[in-house]
């Protein structure tokens, strides 16, 4: 690799701030354990790296070249910011760097929204232990109609999703969490033909953003099989499933302290939520209170009574009307504002 120092500047005022930009030879523009293809002059430009207070920023060049650079150059306790400069088709890539710890990778668009579209069958990104992947502003992760894997796979690492990031249009779930954590403070997960988020183990914390227009057999928005799903904000809306249009929860997985679950539909039970729940805040709408926008249980013939438009745990623990901010619900203690 031929590397040239473009410039280095330090400005001393009350503190010393340094920025170093490097241009790297882009003659070998494939690489790593992921590859990409597409159009756009920036992908043919040399990769540049700039050391800033935020971290090392990787600009220009193709995504594949940037990921290959990470494979060769990552060091422990560092942050790397990948700025996507164009829409691209992307092969699967695993964020894992043997021997390195405390690695943060931030993926964002370079000012305009950039779409990364999966061009094969697998998870586009897998996040392993000792790595934090942050999907930041102006980035869209897109699957396709024949992909049989979840689009982003958290496998012991840390996944974060911020405002103006999108995960969409996959033939399986949007995010699969198998250990580690997924923190959603913003962004959108939509249009997936399985759960927006599937929680096998680990912790999913949602404080913002939207999960909408996903469809699955269980948990159109979120399927929390094991682990913990804690919701303190954000919106889960317009999802569909047989059980748990918005959320399907087993093993006492769902803790709701804020946010809104509304406009979801189940064809069998639990329009908003099916299963275990501990609710001390937030709102889960119900058809009996809001026929226009409430969660509902309905099939092709129309709405179905006594199936838990808002929440269903059992025939004796169900909620058909809206469960508002002050309506506590606990399936384990069988207390709260359940309907008769």
Domain extents for the chain? Answer: 1-172, 195-340
State pLDDT tens for residues 82-129: 999 999 999 999 999 999 999 999 999 998 999 999 999 999 999 999
HSE at residue 180, side-chain half, CA atoms within 13 A, is 22
| Cβ neighbours around 245 below 10 Å, total | 37
For residues 235 and 99, what is the distance between their CA atoms, to the nearest angstrom? 39
Task: Please give the model's pTM, rounded to 2 decimal places.
Answer: 0.90
Question: 92 - beta bridge partners?
Answer: none
Least confident of 108-112, 191-195, 255-259: 108-112
For residues 326 and 279, what is the distance between their CA atoms, to the nearest angstrom? 9
Evaluate whether 194 touches 148 at the Cβ level (below 8 Å).
no
Residue bearing tokens 């164009």: 86
Across residues 18-47, what is the average pLDDT? 58
CA 163 to chain centre: 11
| Cβ neighbours around 49 below 10 Å, total | 21
Which tokens in the block code for residue 51? 């050391």
Evaluate whether 187 touches 166 at the Cβ level (below 8 Å).
yes
CA geometry: angle 20, 23, 25, nearest 5 deg: 150
CA 32 to chain centre: 24
State pLDDT tens for residues 49-87: 999 999 999 999 999 999 999 999 999 999 999 999 999
Residue 21's pLDDT band (boundaries 50, 70, 90)? low
| Residues 6 or more apart in contact with residue 313 via CB below 8 angstroms | 274, 275, 276, 277, 331
């Amino acid at each position: 690799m031929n590397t040239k120092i473009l410039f280095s500047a330090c400005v001393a005022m009350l503190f010393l701030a340094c920025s170093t930009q490097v241009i790297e030879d882009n003659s070998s523009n494939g690489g790593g354990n992921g590859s990409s293809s597409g159009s756009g002059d920036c992908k043919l430009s040399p990769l540049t790296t700039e050391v800033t207070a935020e971290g090392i920023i990787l600009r220009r060049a193709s995504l594949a070249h940037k990921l290959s650079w990470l494979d060769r150059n990552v060091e422990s306790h560092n942050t790397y910011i990948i700025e996507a400069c164009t829409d691209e088709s992307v092969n699967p890539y695993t964020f894992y760097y043997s021997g390195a710890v405390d690695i943060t990778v931030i993926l964002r668009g370079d000012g305009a929204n950039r779409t990364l579209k999966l061009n094969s069958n697998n998870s586009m990104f897998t996040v392993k232990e000792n790595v934090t992947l942050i999907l930041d502003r102006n980035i869209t992760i897109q699957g396709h109609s024949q992909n049989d894997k979840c689009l982003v796979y958290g496998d012991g690492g840390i996944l974060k999703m911020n405002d103006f990031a999108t995960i969409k249009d996959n033939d399986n779930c949007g995010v699969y969490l198998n250990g580690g954590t997924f923190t959603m403070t913003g962004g959108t997960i939509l249009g997936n033909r399985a759960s927006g988020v599937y929680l096998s183990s680990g912790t999913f914390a949602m404080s913002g953003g939207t999960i909408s227009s996903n469809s699955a057999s269980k948990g159109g928005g979120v399927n929390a099989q094991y682990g913990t799903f804690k919701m303190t904000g954000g919106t889960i809306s317009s999802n569909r499933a047989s059980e748990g249009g918005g959320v399907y929860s087993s093993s006492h997985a769902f803790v709701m302290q804020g946010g809104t679950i509304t406009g979801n539909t189940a064809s069998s039970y639990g329009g908003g939520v099916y299963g275990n729940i501990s609710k001390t805040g937030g709102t889960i709408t119900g058809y009996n209170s809001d026929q226009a926008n409430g969660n509902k249980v309905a099939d092709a013939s129309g709405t179905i009574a006594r199936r838990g438009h808002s929440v269903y745990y059992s025939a004796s623990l169900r909620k058909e009307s809206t469960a508002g901010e002050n309506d506590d619900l606990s399936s384990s203690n069988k207390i709260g504002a359940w309907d008769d």
